Structure 1
Amino acid sequence: MIERQALATKPTLTGERLRLVPLTASHADAMYASTTDPETRRLTGTHRTFTPAQITAWCASRAEQTDRLDLAVEDLTSGAFLGELALTEVDPDNESAALRISLIPRARGRGAGPEAIRLLLDYAFDQVRLHRVWLEVFAFNDRARRAYERCGFQVEGRLRHAFLWAGERHDTLVMAALNEPPAGRG
């Protein structure tokens, strides 16, 4: 049985180099800037264009969500916004949820992703009491796939030609981490 209160209570999780904090309207400007970056849009599969007002409203509404967890990734020293990640599509009956993460360009390739994911996985498994956390990653995104594997995710399947970007079709990989010793949670 999952602990629903652990989703409603928005935690602050601290790692060695970063901190995960509840996503709020204070993160909206930096988050909006990330949604306009062409590479971020490609890596996240974002076709839709957002306005600053839409991003502000969305960020401001995250604290009200009791069935998901949205957190900002911040640099531990400076407090700078590095991205955001979330547990979504929580399925209490099957003790599972989806994970998504988006980092700003200067945070990529520096270990922020794996650290943030490990912090969130520990919270998901130990506090929310999930058994399975899954995600989708585009097959062309080798860096992200390797980071997910380092965090205990394994490829479970391939959705062929599931993503269309700039006229080119790409496969999507489905990956999951389990709350079991072989999951490699360290």
Structure 2
Amino acid sequence: MVDTLEPWAHGRPEPLIHGERVWLRPSERTDIPTFVRWFNDAGTTRYLMARAPMSLAGEEKWFDRMLDRQGKDAYHFVICQLDDDRPIGSIGFHDTDHVDGNAAVGVMIGEPELWGQGLGSDAMEALLDFGFGELRLERIWLEVYDFNARARRSYEKCGFVHEGTLRRAIYRRGEYHDVHVMAILRDDRARSKTTAIRS
């Protein structure tokens, strides 16, 4: 479900997106220290394309760049728990092409004690509804490391399918690893929602 609040920088309404257990709000400057903590946790960054360490100054520069792109080719949100509004992660679209209807998506739960509880999947489901609904995207894609089996299962549960493998594309912890490309199309999403209603 998407509510509308204040306008984006270029005039689009700013969404407030609700899942079943989480809600998504636009990132704020006051979130920067939390982002720095998340992105300097070795357990968390092991699964991300970003590399630690992340300095406060570096994150502030990233935030300013993101703010310039927000609502244009990027849509960055903080994942908050519905029951206490606690920020627990981040999610968003980047490299959004409104002509071709494509966007890349990234998600992370920054609090390790909350991993494996379905909160990332709930956030992803909510963002997919926003992407295919409000943004009218045709294809949403992502990249995931071969050793992140939990994330791959989560993405499959959300309807993503494997499209290809970038062989030995990243170097982590002394080894080269494959990166899998997964995507979901508008039609895939419509079919999965219809199946869910029937079941």
Q: TM-score, normalising length from structure 1? A: 0.89
1:18-57 residue pairs with structure 2 within 5 A? 18-57=22-61
Give secondary structure in 2 for the equivalent of 1:127. coil
Taking the aligned partners of 2:13 and 2:107, their CA distance within structure 1 comes to 20
Give secondary structure in 2 for the equivalent of 1:20. strand
Distance 1:61 1:41, change over 3 A: same
State the partner residue of 1:15.
Answer: 19
Distance 1:48 1:38, change over 3 A: closer
Question: Are the equivalent residues in 2 in contact too, given 1:35–1:41 (CA < 8 A)?
Answer: yes
Give secondary structure in 2 for the equivalent of 1:11. strand
Corresponding position: 1:139 with 2:146:
yes
Number of equivalenced pairs = 182
Taking the aligned partners of 1:15 and 1:107, their CA distance within structure 2 comes to 16
Give secondary structure in 2 for the equivalent of 1:135. strand
Give secondary structure in 2 for the equivalent of 1:43. coil
Residue identity over aligned pairs, in percent, reads 31
Cα shift at 1:22: 0.2
Give secondary structure in 2 for the equivalent of 1:79. coil
Corresponding position: 1:168 with 2:172:
no
State the partner residue of 2:136.
Answer: 129
* Runs of at least 4 residues off by over 6 Å: none
State the partner residue of 1:184.
Answer: 192
The structure showing larger relative contact order (alpha-carbon pairs under 8 Å, at least 6 residues apart) is 1
- The runs of 5 or more residues in structure 2 that have no matched partner are 1-7
Cα shift at 1:45: 3.2
1:74-113 residue pairs with structure 2 within 5 A? 74-104=80-110, 105-113=112-120
Taking the aligned partners of 1:48 and 1:41, their CA distance within structure 2 comes to 7
Q: TM-score, normalising length from structure 2? A: 0.84
Taking the aligned partners of 2:94 and 2:66, their CA distance within structure 1 comes to 12
Taking the aligned partners of 1:76 and 1:62, their CA distance within structure 2 comes to 25
Q: 1:71 aligns with which of 77, 96, 106?
A: 77
Give secondary structure in 1 for the equivalent of 2:131. helix
Give secondary structure in 2 for the equivalent of 1:30. helix
Cα shift at 1:7: 9.6
State the partner residue of 2:3.
Answer: none
Distance 1:89 1:124, change over 3 A: same
Taking the aligned partners of 1:173 and 1:149, their CA distance within structure 2 comes to 12
Taking the aligned partners of 1:96 and 1:7, their CA distance within structure 2 comes to 21
Taking the aligned partners of 2:53 and 2:12, their CA distance within structure 1 comes to 29
Taking the aligned partners of 1:103 and 1:123, their CA distance within structure 2 comes to 19
The alignment's C-alpha RMSD in Å is 2.1
Cα shift at 1:57: 4.2
Question: Relative to structure 2, which stretch is displaced further, 33-42 or 50-59?
Answer: 50-59
What residue identity is the alignment partner of 1:184?
S
Question: Are the equivalent residues in 1 in contact too, given 2:73–2:97 (CA < 8 A)?
Answer: no
Taking the aligned partners of 2:82 and 2:104, their CA distance within structure 1 comes to 25
- The runs of 5 or more residues in structure 1 that have no matched partner are none
